[in-house]
């Protein structure tokens, strides 16, 4: 019997992001390319004798540790469905920036589902886990799938793609808070001058053409976020100056990433950002494939 389990919850970036329309239910139909990166949170789950309780603690004091936390919700979902009587102690060690366009909460929830599936030998397939994941949020099914994927609908329709070509991904998050709700509410879909060539990005990935993929990267949410936070445009420009093939904002921001072919160049760029902008959070990462 497994009493303690430790796991990694990997972050994601959007290699391309298009918003097609606002739906009658208030959500938006999107078409985007998701990619898992090697920056991760660490989760430890331990069975306890405190019947039915879920005790969640995290290294960030401002995060909720009750039913308002998505990891708590994931644990409760599994406990309720499968009648698990044990108490659970969950330790969440955050490294992925919070509210940064990297699915930090969603990936933690996905990891909790996977870990409880293993701990209690529930034998749920990846598809069965993804169905439950959707109850927790639109990005959570992708975080169960991982790797490189085309995401459509509200983010729940997922098509796995060939793994991304070997490369290095520099992630930089400036110290600003961006509300996803604000970005979507202020997006003028009918006024967009262009839409990303998502199909072209898919073709480039399938053909293993890193440079073509990078040149086609586009995110329509930048039209809102960059206007309100010019620092995002500045980071993108600096990424290119520092040797990135291309640079883009992930999700609704404010995180920006750059694609690099050379480890030497990405390390130089990371050093530049850490020295010139010590208040920014800077990470050297790689693509992570689906498991």
Active site residue 139: yes
- What's the token pair of residue 45? 């789950």
pLDDT digits (tens, 9 = 90+) for 177-226: 999 899 999 999 999 989 999 999 999 999 999 999 999 999 999 999 99
Number of residues that make up the chain: 291
Give Cα 102 distance to the centre of its chain. Answer: 3
Main-chain dihedrals φ then ψ at residue 25, nearest 5 degrees: -85, 5
- What's the token pair of residue 238? 């600096």
Report domain extents, the chain: 4-160, 168-285
Alpha-carbon separation of residue 73 from 112, 135, 238, 263, 287 (angstroms):
10, 10, 39, 39, 28
- What's the token pair of residue 268? 């130089």
Reduce the DSSP state of residue 48 to 3 states and report it. Answer: strand
State yes or no: pLDDT of 267 exceeds 90.
Answer: yes
Annotated binding site for ATP: 97-107
Around Cβ 91, how many Cβ atoms within 10 Å?
A: 16
- What's the token pair of residue 95? 């490294």
Bridge-partner residues for 281, per DSSP?
173
Annotated binding site: 97-107
Reduce the DSSP state of residue 234 to 3 states and report it. Answer: helix
Reduce the DSSP state of residue 117 to 3 states and report it. Answer: helix
pLDDT digits (tens, 9 = 90+) for 43-84: 999 999 877 799 999 999 999 999 999 999 999 999 999 999
- Distance in angstroms (rounded) separating the CA atoms of residues 54 and 72: 7
Averaged over 253-262, what is the pLDDT?
A: 97
- Whether the link from the prior residue into 232 is cis, omega within 30° of 0, is no
How are beta strands 54-58 and 87-93 bridged, if at all? parallel
Active site residue 25: no
291 — pLDDT class (breaks 50, 70, 90)? low
Main-chain dihedrals φ then ψ at residue 37, nearest 5 degrees: -125, 165
CATH architecture of the domain covering 4-160: 2-Layer Sandwich (3.30)
What stretch of H or E contains 9?
Answer: strand 4-22
Alpha-carbon separation of residue 190 from 20, 21, 29, 187 (angstroms):
9, 9, 14, 9
CB of 2 closer than 8 Å to CB of 116: no
State yes or no: pLDDT of 37 exceeds 70.
Answer: yes
CATH architecture of the domain covering 168-285: 2-Layer Sandwich (3.30)
Q: Which of 73, 139, 146, 216 is catalytic?
A: 139
pLDDT at 278: 98
Main-chain dihedrals φ then ψ at residue 183, nearest 5 degrees: -65, -50
Around Cβ 196, how many Cβ atoms within 10 Å?
A: 23
CB of 197 closer than 8 Å to CB of 173: no
CA diameter of the chain = 59
- Give this prediction's pTM: 0.94
């Amino acid at each position: 019997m497994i009493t303690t389990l430790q796991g990694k919850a990997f972050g994601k970036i959007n290699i391309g992001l298009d918003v097609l329309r606002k739906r009658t239910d208030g959500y938006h139909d999107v078409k985007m390319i998701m990619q898992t990166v090697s920056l991760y949170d660490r989760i430890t789950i331990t069975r306890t004798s405190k019947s039915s309780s879920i005790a969640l603690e995290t290294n960030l004091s401002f995060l909720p540790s009750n039913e308002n936390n998505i990891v708590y919700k994931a644990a409760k979902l599994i406990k309720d469905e499968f009648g698990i009587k044990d108490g659970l102690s969950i330790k969440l060690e955050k490294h992925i920036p919070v509210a940064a366009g990297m699915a930090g909460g969603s990936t933690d929830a996905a990891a909790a589902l996977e870990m409880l599936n293993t701990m209690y030998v529930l034998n749920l397939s990846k598809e069965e886990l993804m169905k439950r994941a959707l109850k927790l949020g639109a990005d959570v099914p992708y975080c169960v799938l991982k790797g490189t994927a085309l995401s459509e609908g509200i983010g729940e329709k997922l098509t796995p793609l060939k793994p991304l070509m070997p490369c290095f991904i520099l992630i930089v998050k400036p110290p600003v808070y961006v509300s996803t709700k604000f970005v979507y509410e202020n997006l003028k879909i009918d006024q967009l001058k262009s839409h990303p060539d998502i199909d072209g990005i898919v073709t480039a990935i399938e053909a293993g053409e890193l440079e073509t993929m990078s040149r086609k990267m586009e995110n329509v949410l930048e039209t809102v976020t960059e206007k309100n936070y010019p620092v995002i445009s500045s980071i993108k420009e600096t990424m290119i100056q520092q040797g990135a093939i291309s640079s883009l904002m992930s999700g609704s921001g404010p995180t920006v990433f750059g694609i690099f072919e050379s480890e030497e160049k990405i390390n130089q760029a990371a050093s530049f950002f850490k020295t010139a902008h010590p208040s920014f959070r800077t990470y050297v990462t790689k693509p992570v494939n689906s498991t």
